[in-house]
C-alpha cells in the first residue's frame, strides 16, 4: 500500500512542487542522486571507479513534452561523454538513457526523434570508448523501446536493454534478447503497473526474476543483474557458476547510495560491480521511485528531515 501511495505521489504536480520547494529535501536527495551538475556526476564517477567499481550515468529527465527539452538532454549526454573521455574515465563508465527524455513521446514524430537522438548518443559513446544502455520505463513504453533498440543494434550491437521482471511478458523478452553479445539489465521494476500486465505480489515478482535470470544466464548474452536483494544476488552467482560464466561475461548492478558496503564487497571478490549514478535537476520522479522500492528508504528520508528540522 505504501509503495502504491508513493508511486502515485510521484506523478502528482502538487506533491512535486511541495517536495522540490522544501529546503530540507535536497540534502537527503544527495544520498540517491550524485548532484545537479555534470561536475557532481564526474566527481562521483571518479570516486567509484577508483574504488574498483564501474558506473552507468543517468542524466535525469523523462516524459519530455517539447523538442527543445529532448535536444537539451541530447546535449547533456554529449557533454558528459566528452568529459568522461577527456578525463580518462570512459573505460569504467557508460551511460543510461530514458528514451522519453530524448523525445519518444513527442506528439509529432516522437519515435523518430528519439531514435535519431539515441543514435547520436551512441555515436558519441563509441567515439569516447564506452557504451549505452536504454532504460525501460512503464509498460506502455516497452514495445517502442525494444523497437528502437533493434534499430540501434544494427550499427551498435553493444547497446544494452533493460527488462523488468514484474511484467508478465518479461520472461519471453529475455528469451528473445539472450543471444550472443546482447547486454540485458534485469531489474524488478519501479513503476505502478496494473495487474493485467504486471505481477503485484512480491513472491510472484521474485519468482519471475529468478526465471528470467535463468534464461539470461543460460543464454549467450551478457546479463546485468540489477538487484539489492541478497537472495537474488546469491541466486545469480549460483546460476552464473552453473553455466560456466566468469567475471568478464556478466555483472552486478546497484543504485548509487544503496548498499555501498555490499557493492564494495562484490567488487572486492573480483566480480564486476556497476553503480547506477543519476544526476541533474529533474530528480523528483527518480527519488520518489527509490522511496517506493524499500520502506527503509522512507524511514531514512523521514529521519533525515527530522534531524535537519
Question: Which residues belong to the active site?
Answer: 135, 185
Which residues, in sequence order, are bridge partners of residue 239?
none
Q: Which residue is listed with cell 537527503?
A: 28
The rounded distance, in Å, linking the Cα atoms of 212 and 218 is 10
268: left (phi over 0), alpha (psi -120 to 50) or beta: alpha
Closest C-alpha to 70, from 95, 102, 48: 102
Q: What are the counts of helices (DSSP H) followed by strands (DSSP E) for the chain? A: 13, 8
With H, G, I as helix, E, B as strand and everything else as coil, classify residue 73: helix
Which residues, in sequence order, are bridge partners of residue 255?
276
The rounded distance, in Å, linking the Cα atoms of 92 and 207 is 32
Rg (CA), the chain: 18
Inter-residue contact 199 to 298 (CB < 8 Å): no
Name the burial class of residue 220, with classes exposed (0-12), middle (13-18) and buried (19+) by CB atoms within 10 angstroms of its CB.
exposed
Q: Which residue is listed with cell 527509490?
A: 290
Amino acid at each position: 500500500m505504501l509503495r502504491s501511495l508513493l508511486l502515485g505521489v510521484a506523478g502528482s504536480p502538487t506533491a512535486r512542487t511541495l517536495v522540490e520547494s522544501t529546503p530540507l529535501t535536497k540534502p537527503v536527495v544527495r544520498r540517491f542522486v550524485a548532484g545537479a551538475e555534470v561536475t557532481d556526476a564526474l566527481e562521483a564517477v571518479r570516486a567509484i571507479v577508483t574504488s574498483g567499481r564501474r558506473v552507468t550515468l543517468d542524466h535525469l529527465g523523462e516524459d519530455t513534452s517539447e523538442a527543445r527539452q529532448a535536444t537539451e538532454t541530447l546535449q547533456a549526454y554529449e557533454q558528459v561523454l566528452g568529459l568522461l573521455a577527456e578525463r580518462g574515465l570512459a573505460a569504467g563508465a557508460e551511460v543510461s538513457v530514458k528514451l522519453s527524455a530524448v523525445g519518444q513521446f513527442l506528439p509529432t514524430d516522437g519515435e523518430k526523434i528519439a531514435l535519431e537522438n539515441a543514435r547520436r548518443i551512441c555515436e558519441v559513446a563509441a567515439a569516447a570508448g564506452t557504451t549505452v544502455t536504454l532504460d525501460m520505463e512503464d509498460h506502455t513504453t516497452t514495445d517502442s523501446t525494444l523497437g528502437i533498440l533493434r534499430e540501434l543494434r544494427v550499427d551498435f550491437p553493444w547497446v544494452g536493454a533493460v527488462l523488468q521482471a514484474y511484467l508478465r511478458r518479461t520472461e519471453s523478452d529475455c528469451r528473445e534478447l539472450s543471444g550472443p553479445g546482447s547486454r540485458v539489465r534485469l531489474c524488478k521494476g519501479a513503476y505502478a503497473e496494473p495487474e493485467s500486465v504486471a505481477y503485484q505480489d512480491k513472491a510472484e515478482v521474485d519468482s519471475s526474476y529468478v526465471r528470467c535470470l535463468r534464461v539470461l544466464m543460460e543464454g549467450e548474452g551478457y546479463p546485468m543483474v540489477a538487484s539489492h536483494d541478497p537472495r537474488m544476488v546469491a541466486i545469480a552467482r549460483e546460476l552464473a557458476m552453473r553455466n560456466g560464466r566468469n567475471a568478464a561475461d556478466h555483472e552486478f548492478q546497484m543504485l548509487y547510495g544503496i548498499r555501498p558496503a555490499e557493492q564494495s564487497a562484490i567488487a572486492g571478490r573480483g566480480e564486476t560491480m556497476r553503480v547506477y549514478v543519476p544526476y541533474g535537476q529533474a530528480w523528483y520522479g527518480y527519488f520518489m521511485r527509490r522511496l517506493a522500492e524499500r520502506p527503509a528508504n522512507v524511514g531514512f528520508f523521514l529521519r533525515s528531515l527530522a534531524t535537519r528540522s
